[in-house]
Amino acid sequence: MPESSRSQHPILVAATDIRASLKSVADSNPTFMTVDEKAAALVELVRADAQLAELRLRILGDAGDLAESTAARDAAGWLAQVTRTRFADARADLRLSAALDRDRQMLAAAMRAGEATLTQAQVIHRALEALPACVGAETVAAAEAHLVERAAEFGPKELGRIGRRILDVVAPEIAEQAEAARLADLEAHASRKTRLTLRRLGDGTTRCSGILPDHAATRFATYLEAYASPRVAREPDTSGDGDPLSRLPRPQRLGHAFVQLLESMDPDRLPIHGGDATTVVVTIPVASLQADLAAADLIGAGLVPGDELTGDRITAGQARRLACTAKILPAVLDGDSVPLDLGRSRRLFTPSQRKALLIRDRTCRAEGCDVPGTWCEAHHLHPWWQGGATDLHNAVLLCSHHHHRVHDPTHRNERLPDGDVRFHRRR
Of 75-84, 260-269, 325-334, highest mean pLDDT = 75-84
Please tell me the predicted confidence (pLDDT) of residue 317. 60
HSE-up (13 A, CA, CB side) for residue 363: 12
Whether residues 143 and 261 fall in one domain: no
Whether residues 213 and 162 fall in one domain: no
pLDDT above 70 (res 343):
no
What total of structural domains would you count in the chain? 3
Bigger pLDDT: 49 or 404? 49
- Does 344 reside within a domain? no
Please tell me the predicted confidence (pLDDT) of residue 374. 78
DSSP for 377-424, written as a single string: EEEESS-GGGT--SSGGGEEEE-HHHHHHHT-TTEEEEE-TTS-EEEE
- Does 355 reside within a domain? yes
Please tell me the predicted confidence (pLDDT) of residue 315. 64
Please tell me the predicted confidence (pLDDT) of residue 322. 55
Whether residues 100 and 162 fall in one domain: yes
Residue 372 DSSP symbol? B
Please tell me the predicted confidence (pLDDT) of residue 72. 83
Whether residues 24 and 42 fall in one domain: yes
- Does 338 reside within a domain? no
Confidence of residue 349 (pLDDT cuts 50, 70, 90): confident
The domain of 92 spans 3-191
- Does 44 reside within a domain? yes
Average pLDDT, rounded, for the chain: 78
- Does 237 reside within a domain? no
Question: Which helix (DSSP H) or strand (DSSP E) does residue 272 occupy?
Answer: strand 272-273
Indicate the pairing of strand 329-333 with strand 377-380. unpaired
Whether residues 162 and 205 fall in one domain: no
Rounded to two decimals, the pTM is 0.50
Q: Which of 24-28, 75-79, 229-233 has the lowest mean pLDDT?
A: 229-233
Please tell me the predicted confidence (pLDDT) of residue 184. 74
* Interval 254-283 mean pLDDT: 64
pLDDT above 50 (res 398):
yes
Bigger pLDDT: 72 or 59? 59
pLDDT above 70 (res 267):
no
Whether residues 176 and 206 fall in one domain: no
Residue 267 makes CB contacts below 8 A (sequence gap 6+) with 277, 278, 279, 327
pLDDT above 50 (res 90):
yes
Query: Which amino acid, 216?
Result: A
Whether residues 64 and 176 fall in one domain: yes
Whether residues 372 and 326 fall in one domain: no
Bigger pLDDT: 213 or 66? 66
Whether residues 139 and 35 fall in one domain: yes
Please tell me the predicted confidence (pLDDT) of residue 266. 67
Q: Which of 33-42, 118-127, 264-273, 304-313 has the lowest mean pLDDT?
A: 304-313
CB 239 within 8 A of CB 269: no
pLDDT above 70 (res 282):
no
Whether residues 91 and 8 fall in one domain: yes
Whether residues 40 and 186 fall in one domain: yes
pLDDT above 50 (res 310):
no
Q: Which of 304, 333, 362 is the last residue of a domain?
A: 333
- Does 383 reside within a domain? yes
Confidence of residue 104 (pLDDT cuts 50, 70, 90): very high
Whether residues 80 and 166 fall in one domain: yes
CB 410 within 8 A of CB 399: no
